[in-house]
Structure 1
Amino acid sequence: MEMVFRWFGEDNDHIPLSHIKQIPGVKGIVWALHHIPAGEKWTLHEIEKVKKSVESSGFNIDVVESVNVHEDIKLGRSTRDYYIENYKQTMKNLAEAGVKVICYNFMPVFDWIRTELFKELEDGSTALFYEKAKVEGIEPDELAQQILKEKSFTLPGWEPERLAKLSELFDAYQEVTEEMIWSHLKYFLDEIIPLAEQLDIRMAIHPDDPPWSVFGLPRIITNERNISRFLNLVDSPNNGLTLCSGSLGANGENDIPSMIHKFGPRIHFAHIRNLKRYDNGDFVETSHRTEDGSLDIYEIVKAYRKQGFTGYVRPDHGRHIWDETCRPGYGLYDRALGIMYIQGIWDSLVRMEKESQYAAIK
């Protein structure tokens, strides 16, 4: 397991790399060129600027999150080949710079949906919150405007150029079914995975967040059955997963440890976070600690250990604590606590294995 930390860049993040350096065990920075719109090429020059900054602080740039997929590819439009060629060139440039894993998603329009960015919890901290009834009773453009009242930081997945075309995009998806999305995804994979094999880059799709249809949009990376189908679309070790416990865990029927055991070799990137589910369909993000949410983080980390997981892992969304002013879900303090909790579990598992082996020898 190699611990990494998501960072939004020198001009787009309140957290300096020098502070991340003080979190024990963090080896790499998960990054992206957030200023480049989906569909445009990432130039080697722009990539190398980030590489120089990150490596000079003692981190690697092995993992990118995300290289966004243009909506024309998801919609299967005639222009998709143009954007796929741009995507391929970005992959080549990233490989030349030393990138090992590319995280991406295939979610229509929105990468994630929440109804409140700073929901106050009982301890006075705040966190990302999803209110089912509110989503079902509001128009998507109205929700977008409410979310975008948070102007301090850009929100990945809610880029202004995307939201400016919100009505147009929803109209385009009116006749698009889940089976059509599957077909468009396969077309995309058939194009990029052979190149990923040549470049020795592992592609890691992120599950839909939340893992069900929202605003009538088709969503497909939602459960164990669909993930199996996805992996079989192009059966290659380079076609893999970003297994996000929080995204999948919003649905109580998803058994995260079971998925880790089933898909282990195809999990190239792990997001570990907790959340608390409510009977009415709401959920709120919590600390990483098992006792604070609905997910058994101990069993999740244990499953990775049993699988011999050597890939990349990061704490996912954290609460906003100690009056930190930060991008929603991406403060320094609670994610640092999450790292120490995850590593504490991992270290305990390693110690127990060693003690068991020693006892067996005696």
Structure 2
Amino acid sequence: MRMVFRWFGEGNDHISLRDVKQIPGVEGIVWSLHDVPAGDEWSLKQIQDVKQQATDHGLHIEVVESVNVHEDIKLGLSTRDRYIENYIKTIEKLASVGVKVICYNFMPIFDWLRTDLAKELEDGSTALFYEGSKIHDIDPMELVKQISENSEMTMPGWEPERLADLTKLFEAYRGVTEEDLMNNLQYFLEKIIPVAEEHDIKMAIHPDDPPWSVFGLPRIVTNKENLQRILKLVDSPSNGLTLCSGSLGSNPSNNVAEMVREFADRIPFAHIRNVRIYENGDFIETSHRTEDGSIDITDVVTAYHENNFTGYARPDHGRHIWDEKCRPGYGLYDRALGIMYMWGIWDTLEKAKREA
């Protein structure tokens, strides 16, 4: 297991690379060019700048999260080939500086959805929270209208400046089925996977978060059966998974450790975090500790160890603790604690293996 840490870049992240370097066992950053719009070709100069920043602190940039997929590709519009060509050029540039894994997602409109960015837990920390009653059976167009008319009504990802675009996108997705979306993903993969193979890049699709339909939008990266199908769309080692325990695990029907054991050879990148699921299906993110949530993180890490996992792993979202002012879900302190929890499990398993 090769530990990495998500970093949003100078000027975008309160965490410094000096901070990251001090977390035991972390060897690289998970990064992106967040100012580049989805569909645009990435600049080699900007890519090289990030590499130099990481190298100056003894860190690598072998994992990118994410090279975002333009909505026209997901929708299967006639304009998609132009955006796919830009995606291919970006893959080639990333390979030239040593990138090995590109994480991406195929979620329509939202790449994740929560209803509260700072829900308080019993210990006084706060975390990302999903309240189903604010999502289920609600017409998104009505919600856009309500937010437009009420400046005090807010929801993450529904900022006033984004409402016009949301309206257009919801209209574009009317009538798009899960089968349509799966076909559009296959078209995309058929174009990019041969390029990824040529450049020794692993494409790693991220699960939908949460792993079910929201606002009537199709979602296809949701369960074991769909993961099996996606890997067969283009059956190549370069067509892989970013297995996210928190995204998939927010549906109690998904056994994350079982998925790790089944798909181990097609997981170049692991996101490891815990969530607590309530009886009504709402969920909140917790510490990584197994006892604090609904996912058996100990078994998840054990599943990776049993399969001699040599891919990259990172702590995913963390709580906001010790009064840290940070990007929601991406503080330094709780994610660093999560890393040490994972290393504790891993090192114990390694010792038992040596002594067996």
Into which bin does the TM-score normalised by the smaller protein fall? Answer: over 0.9
In the alignment, the residues of structure 2 paired with residue 163 and residue 35 of structure 1 have an alpha-carbon distance, to the nearest angstrom, of 20
Secondary structure (helix, strand or coil) at the match of 1:175 reads coil
Give identity over the alignment, percent.
Answer: 66
- Give the drift of 1:175: 1.1
In the alignment, the residues of structure 2 paired with residue 200 and residue 21 of structure 1 have an alpha-carbon distance, to the nearest angstrom, of 27
In the alignment, the residues of structure 1 paired with residue 74 and residue 159 of structure 2 have an alpha-carbon distance, to the nearest angstrom, of 17
Contact 1:260/1:304, CA 8 A, preserved across alignment: yes
| Residue 169 of structure 2 corresponds to residue 169 of structure 1 | yes
Tell me the amino acid that sits aligned with residue 232 of structure 2: N
In the alignment, the residues of structure 2 paired with residue 347 and residue 80 of structure 1 have an alpha-carbon distance, to the nearest angstrom, of 46
- Give the drift of 1:143: 7.1
| Residue 27 of structure 2 corresponds to residue 43 of structure 1 | no
Tell me the amino acid that sits aligned with residue 341 of structure 1: Y
Secondary structure (helix, strand or coil) at the match of 2:191 reads helix
Contact 1:264/1:309, CA 8 A, preserved across alignment: yes
2:134 maps to what in 1? 134
In the alignment, the residues of structure 2 paired with residue 160 and residue 100 of structure 1 have an alpha-carbon distance, to the nearest angstrom, of 37
In the alignment, the residues of structure 2 paired with residue 137 and residue 75 of structure 1 have an alpha-carbon distance, to the nearest angstrom, of 23
Tell me the amino acid that sits aligned with residue 272 of structure 1: I
Contact 1:110/1:158, CA 8 A, preserved across alignment: no
Secondary structure (helix, strand or coil) at the match of 1:147 reads coil
Contact 2:18/2:57, CA 8 A, preserved across alignment: yes
- Give the drift of 1:55: 1.0
Tell me the amino acid that sits aligned with residue 230 of structure 2: F
Tell me the amino acid that sits aligned with residue 104 of structure 2: Y
- Give the drift of 1:134: 1.3
Contact 1:2/1:311, CA 8 A, preserved across alignment: yes
| Residue 239 of structure 2 corresponds to residue 239 of structure 1 | yes
Q: How does 1:174-323 map to 2 (within 5 A)?
A: 174-323=174-323
- Give the drift of 1:237: 0.3
In the alignment, the residues of structure 1 paired with residue 132 and residue 249 of structure 2 have an alpha-carbon distance, to the nearest angstrom, of 15
Q: CA 1:65 to 1:292, structure 2 compared with 1: closer, same or farther past 3 Å?
A: same
- Give the drift of 1:136: 2.2
Q: Greater CA deviation, 133-142 or 182-191?
A: 133-142
Contact 1:285/1:318, CA 8 A, preserved across alignment: yes
- Give the drift of 1:159: 9.3
Contact 1:111/1:158, CA 8 A, preserved across alignment: no
Tell me the amino acid that sits aligned with residue 268 of structure 2: H
Secondary structure (helix, strand or coil) at the match of 2:64 reads strand
Secondary structure (helix, strand or coil) at the match of 2:83 reads helix
Per-residue deviation, residues 261-317 of structure 1 (Å, max 9, x unmatched): 110000010000000001101000000000000000000000000011000000000
In the alignment, the residues of structure 1 paired with residue 158 and residue 257 of structure 2 have an alpha-carbon distance, to the nearest angstrom, of 30
Tell me the amino acid that sits aligned with residue 101 of structure 2: V
Contact 1:246/1:272, CA 8 A, preserved across alignment: yes
Tell me the amino acid that sits aligned with residue 34 of structure 2: H
Secondary structure (helix, strand or coil) at the match of 2:113 reads coil
TM-score between both structures, scaled by the size of structure 1? 0.93
- Point out where structure 1 has 5 or more consecutive residues left out of the alignment: 149-156, 357-362
Contact 2:147/2:160, CA 8 A, preserved across alignment: no
| Residue 154 of structure 2 corresponds to residue 146 of structure 1 | yes
Structure 1 residue runs of 4+, over 3 Å off?
137-145, 157-164
Secondary structure (helix, strand or coil) at the match of 2:114 reads coil
Q: Alignment RMSD, CA only? A: 1.6
Q: How does 1:315-334 map to 2 (within 5 A)?
A: 315-334=315-334
1:114 maps to what in 2? 114
In the alignment, the residues of structure 2 paired with residue 200 and residue 35 of structure 1 have an alpha-carbon distance, to the nearest angstrom, of 26
2:346 maps to what in 1? 346
2:101 maps to what in 1? 101
In the alignment, the residues of structure 2 paired with residue 39 and residue 162 of structure 1 have an alpha-carbon distance, to the nearest angstrom, of 18
Secondary structure (helix, strand or coil) at the match of 1:216 reads coil
TM-score between both structures, scaled by the size of structure 2? 0.95
Secondary structure (helix, strand or coil) at the match of 1:136 reads coil
- Give the drift of 1:321: 0.1
Secondary structure (helix, strand or coil) at the match of 1:61 reads strand
Contact 1:118/1:328, CA 8 A, preserved across alignment: yes
In the alignment, the residues of structure 2 paired with residue 22 and residue 259 of structure 1 have an alpha-carbon distance, to the nearest angstrom, of 32
- Give the drift of 1:355: 1.3
**How many residues are aligned here?**
348
1:152 maps to what in 2? none
